[in-house]
Structure 1
Amino acid sequence: MYLNQNGRIIKEEKAIISPNNRSFRYGDGCFETMKVIDNSILLADYHFERLFASLQLLQFDVPKYLTADYLQHQILEVAKKNYHNKLARVRLTVYRGNGGLYDPENHFPNYLIQTWDLNPANNLLNENGLVVDVFRDAIKVCDTYSHVKSNNYLCYVMAALWAKKHHLNDAILLNPYNRIADATIANIFIITNGIVKTPSVSEGCVSGVMRRYLLTKMRAENIPVEETKIAVEELLQASEIFLTNGIYGIRWVKQICNNNYTNTASSMLYKQFIKPILQHK
């Protein structure tokens, strides 16, 4: 397997990360998880808009050459090298480099690009609904940086370990107000009284690319949708629940605790908004 480290395509075993690396030490940086279909990045504009907004917020000094077009070329180049250009998952990690907590050597955005082959089932709506539950041992904060897809992922890591231990497909994280934030690798939507609801970004969720895409499309089609506060009780009483991210698109949830859910609207949303962009590519 090959990866791209700061514009150089090298074998994985040749990659070197300094012990003084700030991402390794402090989680200093952010990342994008993208989907490549037929040598094209799905929702590329949304991904790069989010990335560069995050880099600005995190006070990186972005050189002029480091543009969306440049990074897109770098991504597709290594995907092709790995024979992953038909259907693949891509991780683009950006990190500040070396230095102590108060004395970074510079604010240059180093980057690392990795690719993995994807199963074609990732383009389909899940046949079997997910079984998830609420993880209460970690809190997703609500602050200026909580929407960033940060390299510091500890709360999600622990939630994922808990979910695996309890034979769950995913875990839902709460914010400091005991309301829904998001899941370990996805945003969460509920449907109640015919209204599609998702936690607002101010509630601590990551500002997901597929979340943004679906909100835009649903509003354009006059589907009732709200970005709002969602209590655990409202989640449990919903008629449908589904998760979204850039790799799976939509995955419907069949069970939380002892509550069961259907997938009528989730299936409709997949057919109307997700399936067309996969076919288009």
Structure 2
Amino acid sequence: MINFNGTLVSEDANTVAQNRGFLYGDAVFETVKIVNSKILFLEDHYFRLMSSMRVIRMEIPMNFTMESLEEQIVSLVKNNGLESSARARITIYRNEGGYYLPQNNTVSFFIQAVLVESALYALDGKEYEVDLYKDFYVTKHLLSSIKTTNRLINVTGSIYASENGLDNCILLNDSKNVVEVLQGNIFMLKGNVLTTPPVSEGCLNGVMRKQILKIAQKLEGIEVVEEIISPFDIQKADELFVTNVIKGVQPITKYRKKEFSIELSKALVAELNSLIV
């Protein structure tokens, strides 16, 4: 028996009592966007998920192929009537047993899916204000580049943003350099140079980050680099934007007293939608 919210219940009746993802954050996840029953950038998502599992020493089942993952996600989306436009999250956790040291490295998973209002990527035209989040810092190591279920810095940062009337916060690493934002990667345009922090700085190895790098490299007059960005660089930027696979590109319009253009963001969204259509 365990005490659950003041009531004694069977431990087997509570699905989180022995779940290592809940107890230790011993889990990884991947969020994908589905349009007309097709998972966008499926191959990139699949290989990032496999890489994340290898990093934390999970055993990858023989039948856990890209095709089987696609089938499982699309089946759920269709069952829920969301095949036209949806987001789905697959969470993979190490099976129960042990304390910090697991008794085995086998895994289980579950998938969730919800409606996404728009199949195409779009800019909403609203003001989008950000500031630095300095209560906690991202550590520069490999674990920071994968999506584990330990997202406390994102949770506390989101609370900070809400309390201060912000739309997002910029995260810093332990060298006090810009890493990413709460819900995605960050890009900075200054002149004709588009910069995003390298993964070695501790940022998430984002799927949409990869797409934007490829698209921007083909744009005439734009030089693309992966380099360290300091908070002082942000104030000198001409344009800032956030990327993730659900939103696509989200322009940052205001940082403290500085306001930014959104022209490159418009061009990138148009290129992204051409990939979908």
TM-score w.r.t. structure 2 length?
0.91
- Give yes or no for contact 2:215–2:268 (8 Å, CA) kept in 1: no
The CA deviation at 1:277 is: 2.0
Matched, 1:148 2:138: no
Among 53, 57, 60, the residue aligned to 1:59: 57
| 1:218 paired residue number | 216
Matched, 1:169 2:162: no
Runs of 4+ in 1 over 6 A off after TM superposition: none
Aligned residues: 264
- Give yes or no for contact 1:133–1:170 (8 Å, CA) kept in 2: yes
Structure 1 segments unaligned to the other structure (5+ residues) = 1-14
Letter in 2 for 1:90: A
Deviation track 1:75-129 (CA, whole Å, cap 9, x = no partner) reads 0011111111110011111111213333313211211100001111862123124
- Percentage identity across paired residues of the two chains: 31
Give the number of the structure whose alpha-carbon radius of gyration is greater: 2
Among 196, 215, 218, the residue aligned to 2:194: 196
Q: Greater shift after overlay, 65-74 or 220-229?
A: 220-229
The CA deviation at 1:16 is: 6.0
Letter in 2 for 1:99: G
| 2:6 paired residue number | none
Structure 2 segments unaligned to the other structure (5+ residues) = 1-12
Deviation track 1:13-53 (CA, whole Å, cap 9, x = no partner) reads xx962412111011112111100000000111110010011
Q: Greater shift after overlay, 182-191 or 91-100?
A: 91-100
Q: SS at 2:142's partner residue?
A: coil
| 1:9 paired residue number | none
The CA deviation at 1:193 is: 2.0
Q: SS at 1:146's partner residue?
A: helix
- Give yes or no for contact 1:192–1:239 (8 Å, CA) kept in 2: yes
Q: SS at 2:140's partner residue?
A: coil
Distance 1:22 1:164 in 2: 30
| 1:159 paired residue number | 157
Distance 1:58 1:242 in 2: 31
Q: SS at 2:214's partner residue?
A: helix
> Residues 121 and 69 from structure 1, CA distance in 2 versus in 1: closer, same or farther, beyond 3 angstroms?
closer
Letter in 2 for 1:150: T
> Residues 121 and 251 from structure 1, CA distance in 2 versus in 1: closer, same or farther, beyond 3 angstroms?
farther
Distance 2:144 2:89 in 1: 20
Distance 1:117 1:102 in 2: 36
| 1:206 paired residue number | 204
Distance 2:206 2:219 in 1: 20
Matched, 1:138 2:133: no
Matched, 1:269 2:268: yes
> Residues 184 and 250 from structure 1, CA distance in 2 versus in 1: closer, same or farther, beyond 3 angstroms?
same
Distance 2:100 2:218 in 1: 46
- Give yes or no for contact 1:22–1:100 (8 Å, CA) kept in 2: no
- Give yes or no for contact 1:20–1:100 (8 Å, CA) kept in 2: no
Letter in 1 for 2:267: M
Letter in 2 for 1:60: M
Deviation track 1:137-159 (CA, whole Å, cap 9, x = no partner) reads 01011112110011100111100
- Give yes or no for contact 2:121–2:269 (8 Å, CA) kept in 1: no
| 1:227 paired residue number | 226
| 2:39 paired residue number | 41
